């Protein structure tokens, strides 16, 4: 704004006020400088606007990609999968544990349906859904348990979540690096403002002194008149100096780097949900990864098993079955068993009933819908045997069966069916846990035999042999009971009969071992957190390269969840000491993962975590970067910072690569920009103080600002990662590491000092170096009298003369303008060559390496050359320049090319690396919320004394609702709770037109009264305030 005002004043003064030195009004050229400044400002604003538009467009594309989510609905009696944007009122939608409600709905049917509504009400209590208790589902809440059908009653902007989204629309917050750069830009701006004020003062004093102390001279024979014009010119230079000093290109570089990386990461199958996570991945030094689907292909297949005391196995999977195994050859049409057909049928029925997945035909190919990959493998095993799992399910009416869904806490799933006047209870789950509840076993002969401890020890050996070969083991058991009428509301735990044990294998992804090796070289430790037993986990870890391929594991390298929890509660100091050595955490729960992340972050590590389940959400939320799987639950996706579209660990590594690249690209531009600022500001300040005129004019400084801020940001912030990005460089970037490294400071100081020194030398010796005495016109005033009389000189001949002694030369050739143009040209070329030096951050000597990754850099470099040529040769009146000869161009470029030599010399300077002053330095970057969540997780695990608390960290699934509730006063807590109740009332009100008004009103009152009573019981001190709110 200041420049625009100053430019308009400049145009007015130039068109109507006389020049103080000549006393004349020059309207032919008086408008040029002000117009040139306006044009420069317009170009800068337009470029920034285009970049902002592209940034907003990329955010819209990312948001559209994030909103893509398929749900299953029943239409025309057919189960089909649709995008949530295609949901309409009246759809019947299938819901299951882990889903986030995409629309408002009402309960139709289901089993054990429970929802977490803390995002709406602020209450962490899990709400049970049923026709009698609470039939309403609110969009934005999460289904935590059970499965069922919901009738959709509100969608889009008419739903509760839609209205909330419309009311809370806004621009995304700045990332941490943008905040740091904003602070840096502000500090530089203040220094630039001080330099500008000083420059204006110096130039003004010189002008006043020249007017007051005027004496006749050949250069100024007439008195100098008092005029506002010189002071306006000084003001323009000072304002422009501020514009140059303020590195507005820094936020632009961050935006460009992040937007470019986001787009490129999407091509690498990584969807960025939180922009700051791109930066954070550059400092990640620990990755806690799931096994299934991340390190492995997530295509589970039964490869061996134990059925009624007989072994079976499939060839081609690198497994060896137990003694006398029935081997099914690869590609065989039928599966070979030694067990009886009745025993095989019983196993198949148990697997079919204890699963929720279906294989459907979508777009001409069969895909699994619902359930998890383990279920897909087990039901696929039933199909491979040749059994119809759908027929097995459909033989029982809905009222003749009851399912108790799988949960990570109990690690089992149970289904009860009514058959032949009795209950048949089928159980499927983790082999060790199911085996504990087994008191009998089905023998080869079909008889049920007691299973004592010795017999169980033999079964455990079978499980261990399967696990040692990298298999996940699942046990299948059953029990019979008399028909007691209505099925129990809670899952029963009867004495079971062991039927079968299956070994399920998920092959390692081909690229994982190399990715793990790259992480190790890059200083990133990879830890595997899995629910598999210890032997399976160790076998997989060896294949991935997380553990040595042979030999015993050291203490602390491998732990089981039970041992981990016990040590956390009884000996937390010992656990904290072993955490750095931990590589595999087996038989772990989501709570164990949360505590592990908390311990690592408390040590100062920057942690990335992968997860796909609802109970992984607390760890995903707590970690510095949370990666959810596209195949995971909505709750996990909502808590994550990034989504792996291919569920692949190598994509996590690619994200780390891009994180390093984003940080490096921004720092490249930063060291380049600071060099320009230091050299440009000091040159203008010193030159204005010592010499007659400022070395660079206002419009030239604006051009420097445009080419060095905007175009350089595009050139340096868009370089793609190198192949050895993780192996090269300085390793992960610490939280406490300064924005400008020691080597960057060396770069800025040495290159800035070199450019400043050369420019001052050119001011002194420029006329001789650039040959500014050279001029062209028909006849020179100093040509000898004899030559004039004899007319021996052709009119078109070029004559060399001394412009200082030739009136015509001094007017037409203007040697000072030629020298100023050469200096301006040289300074711009300094920056163009210095861009090559700025491409390297770690003392690399080959600055031309990797041009294949910097195509945009090359394009912008040549664009800058072309525009600079036009600025000098064509736009002279606008840019305050004059055309140069070819020899002068060569001299300018040759002098500027010395920047490359200076860059090579600087690369040989040994610079000490930054090291944290204290062991706790890395914790300085943690925000208060992260610190509190870490404390909460460790406290609940018993690491700060006291008994461990169950369900550790669960309130954090939806943010920090627990802390928010504690910080509110009595009235605020009541207002928050009542607001949640009234939100449900608004959802219910949509039913009134289609439902009996009395029933709907009764439901509203019943739920509201129960919520108020429940809340009042928990917060009796707030009772009076609450009643006033009501």
Enzyme catalytic residues: 290
For residues 845 and 647, give the distance between their C-alpha atoms in angstroms, rounded to a whole number. Answer: 39
- Strands 448-450 and 438-442, by their bridges, are antiparallel
Residue 54, burial from CB neighbour count under 10 angstroms (0-12, 13-18, 19+): middle
Contact 902, 833 (CB under 8 A): no
3-state secondary structure of 95: strand
Contact 140, 103 (CB under 8 A): no
886 phi, psi to nearest 5 deg: -60, -40
Residue 274 zone, left/alpha/beta (φ > 0; ψ -120 to 50; rest): beta
For residues 401 and 418, give the distance between their C-alpha atoms in angstroms, rounded to a whole number. Answer: 6
Nearest to 707 by CA among 877, 821, 824: 824
CB count within 10 Å of CB 829 equals 21
Can you say how many angstroms the Cα of residue 439 is from the centroid of all Cα atoms in its chain? 51
Contact 528, 295 (CB under 8 A): yes
For residues 964 and 975, give the distance between their C-alpha atoms in angstroms, rounded to a whole number. Answer: 13
Q: End-to-end CA distance of the chain, in Å?
A: 52
Contact 843, 911 (CB under 8 A): yes
Nearest to 482 by CA among 427, 426, 423: 423
For residues 959 and 722, give the distance between their C-alpha atoms in angstroms, rounded to a whole number. Answer: 37
83 phi, psi to nearest 5 deg: -75, 150
Contact 303, 314 (CB under 8 A): yes
3-state secondary structure of 526: strand
Beta carbons within 8 Å of 53's beta carbon, 6+ residues apart: none
For residues 16 and 929, give the distance between their C-alpha atoms in angstroms, rounded to a whole number. Answer: 62
For residues 450 and 438, give the distance between their C-alpha atoms in angstroms, rounded to a whole number. Answer: 9
For residues 676 and 832, give the distance between their C-alpha atoms in angstroms, rounded to a whole number. Answer: 11
Enclosing H/E stretch for 82: strand 78-83
> CA-based angle 876:897:900, to the nearest 5?
140
Residue 1003, burial from CB neighbour count under 10 angstroms (0-12, 13-18, 19+): buried
Residue 347, both tokens: 């196993």
Beta-strand runs (E) in 837-905: none
Beta-strand runs (E) in 716-804: none
Could you give the C-alpha distances from 66 to 61, 107, 332, 638, 822, in angstroms and in order?
9, 27, 43, 10, 53
Nearest to 836 by CA among 826, 827, 845: 845
Could you give the C-alpha distances from 273 to 65, 67, 266, in angstroms and in order?
10, 11, 11
- Strands 438-442 and 422-430, by their bridges, are unpaired
Alpha-carbon torsion 993, 997, 1001, 1004, what sign? negative
Contact 79, 64 (CB under 8 A): no
For residues 262 and 258, give the distance between their C-alpha atoms in angstroms, rounded to a whole number. Answer: 6
Alpha-carbon torsion 117, 119, 121, 124, what sign? positive
For residues 500 and 475, give the distance between their C-alpha atoms in angstroms, rounded to a whole number. Answer: 6
């Amino acid at each position: 704004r200041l420049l625009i005002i100053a430019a308009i004043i400049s145009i007015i003064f130039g068109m109507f006020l006389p020049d103080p030195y000549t006393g004349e009004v020059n309207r032919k050229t008086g408008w040029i400088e002000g117009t040139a400044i306006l044009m420069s400002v317009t170009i800068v604003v337009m470029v920034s606007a285009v970049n902002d538009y592209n940034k907003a467009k990329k955010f819209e594309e990312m948001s559209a990609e994030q909103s893509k989510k398929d749900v299953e609905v029943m239409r025309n009696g057919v189960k089909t999968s649709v995008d949530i944007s295609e949901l309409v009122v009246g759809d019947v939608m299938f819901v299951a544990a882990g889903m986030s409600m995409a629309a408002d709905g009402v309960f139709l049917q289901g089993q054990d349906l429970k929802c977490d509504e803390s995002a709406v009400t602020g209450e962490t209590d899990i709400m049970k859904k049923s026709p009698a208790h609470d039939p309403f589902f609110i969009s934005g809440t999460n289904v935590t348990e059970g499965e069922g059908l919901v009738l959709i009653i509100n969608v889009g902007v008419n739903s509760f979540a839609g209205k909330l989204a419309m009311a809370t629309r806004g621009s995304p917050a700045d990332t941490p690096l943008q905040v740091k750069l904003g602070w840096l830009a502000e500090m530089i701006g203040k220094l630039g403002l001080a330099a500008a004020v000083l420059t204006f003062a110096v130039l003004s004093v010189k002008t006043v002194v020249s007017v007051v102390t005027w004496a006749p001279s050949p250069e100024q024979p007439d008195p100098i008149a008092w005029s506002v014009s010189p002071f306006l010119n000084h003001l323009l230079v000072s304002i422009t100096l501020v514009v140059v000093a303020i590195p507005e290109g820094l936020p632009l570089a961050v935006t460009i780097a992040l937007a470019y990386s986001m787009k490129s990461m999407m091509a690498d199958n990584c969807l960025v949900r939180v922009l700051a996570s791109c930066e954070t991945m550059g400092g990640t030094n620990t990755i806690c990864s799931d096994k299934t689907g991340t390190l492995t292909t997530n295509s589970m297949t039964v490869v061996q098993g134990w059925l009624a005391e007989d072994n079976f196995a499939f060839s081609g999977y690198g497994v060896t079955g137990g003694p006398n195994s029935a081997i099914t050859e690869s590609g065989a049409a039928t599966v070979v068993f030694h067990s009886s057909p009745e025993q095989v049928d019983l196993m198949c029925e148990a697997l079919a009933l204890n699963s929720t997945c279906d294989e459907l035909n979508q777009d001409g190919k069969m895909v699994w819908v619902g359930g998890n990959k383990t279920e897909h493998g087990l039901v696929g095993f039933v199909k491979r045997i040749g059994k119809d799992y759908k027929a097995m399910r459909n033989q029982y009416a809905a009222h003749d069966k009851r399912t108790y869904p799988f949960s990570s806490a109990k690690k089992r799933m149970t289904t009860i069916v009514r058959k032949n006047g009795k209950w048949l209870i089928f159980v499927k789950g983790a082999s060790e846990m199911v085996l504990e509840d087994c008191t009998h076993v089905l023998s080869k002969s079909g008889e049920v035999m007691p299973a004592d401890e010795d017999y169980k020890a033999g079964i455990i050996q079978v499980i261990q042999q399967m696990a040692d070969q990298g298999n996940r083991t699942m046990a299948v058991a059953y029990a019979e009971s008399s028909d007691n009428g209505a099925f129990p509301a809670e899952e029963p735990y009867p004495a079971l009969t062991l039927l079968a044990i299956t070994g399920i294998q998920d092959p390692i992804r081909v690229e994982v071992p190399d990715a793990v090796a790259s992480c190790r070289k890059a200083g990133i430790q990879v830890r595997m957190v899995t629910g598999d037993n210890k032997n399976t986990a160790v076998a997989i870890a060896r294949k991935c390269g997380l553990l040595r391929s042979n030999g015993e594991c050291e203490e602390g390298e491998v732990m089981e969840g039970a041992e981990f929890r016990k040590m956390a509660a009884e000996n937390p100091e010992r656990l904290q000491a072993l955490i750095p050595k931990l590589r595999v955490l087996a038989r772990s729960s989501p709570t164990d993962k949360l505590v592990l992340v908390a311990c690592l972050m408390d040590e100062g590590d920057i942690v990335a975590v992968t997860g796909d389940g609802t109970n992984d959400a607390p760890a995903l939320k707590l970690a510095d970067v949370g990666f959810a799987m596209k195949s995971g639950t909505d709750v996990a996706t909502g808590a994550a910072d990034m989504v792996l579209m291919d569920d692949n660990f190598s994509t996590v590594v690619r994200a780390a690569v891009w994180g390093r690249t984003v940080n490096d690209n921004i720092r490249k531009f930063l060291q380049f920009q600071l060099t320009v600022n230091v050299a440009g500001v000091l040159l203008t300040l010193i030159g204005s103080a010592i010499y007659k005129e400022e070395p660079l004019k206002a419009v030239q400084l604006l051009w420097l600002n445009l080419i060095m801020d905007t175009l350089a940001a595009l050139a340096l912030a868009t370089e793609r990662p190198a192949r050895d990005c993780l192996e090269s460089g300085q390793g992960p970037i610490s939280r406490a590491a300064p924005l400008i490294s020691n080597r960057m400071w060396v770069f800025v100081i040495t290159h800035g000092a070199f450019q400043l020194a050369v420019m001052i030398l050119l001011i002194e010796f420029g006329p001789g170096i650039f040959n500014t005495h050279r001029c062209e016109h028909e006849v020179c005033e100093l040509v000898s009298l004899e030559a004039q009389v004899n007319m021996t000189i052709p009119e078109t001949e070029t004559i060399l003369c001394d412009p200082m002694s030739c009136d015509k030369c001094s007017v037409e050739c203007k040697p000072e303008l030629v020298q100023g143009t050469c200096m301006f040209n040289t300074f711009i070329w300094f920056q163009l060559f210095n861009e090559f030096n700025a491409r390297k951050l770690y003392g690399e000597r080959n600055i031309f390496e990797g041009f294949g990754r910097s195509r945009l850099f090359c394009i912008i470099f040549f664009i800058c050359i072309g525009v600079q040529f036009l600025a000098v040769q064509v736009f002279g009146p606008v840019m305050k320049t004059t055309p140069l000869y070819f020899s002068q161009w060569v001299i300018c470029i040759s002098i500027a090319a010395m920047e490359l030599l200076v860059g090579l010399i600087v690369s040989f300077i040994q610079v000490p690396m930054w090291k944290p002053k204290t062991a706790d330095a890395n914790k300085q970057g943690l925000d208060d919320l992260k610190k509190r969540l870490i404390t909460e997780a460790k406290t609940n695990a018993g690491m700060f004394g006291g008994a461990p608390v169950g369900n550790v960290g669960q309130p954090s699934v939806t943010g920090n609702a627990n802390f928010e509730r504690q910080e509110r006063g009595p009235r605020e807590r009541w207002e928050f709770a009542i607001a949640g109740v009234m939100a449900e009332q608004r959802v219910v009100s949509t039913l009134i037109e289609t439902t009996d008004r009395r029933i709907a009103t009764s439901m509203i009152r019943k739920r509201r009264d129960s919520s108020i009573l429940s809340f009042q019981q928990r917060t009796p001190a707030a009772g009076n305030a609450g009643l006033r709110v009501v």
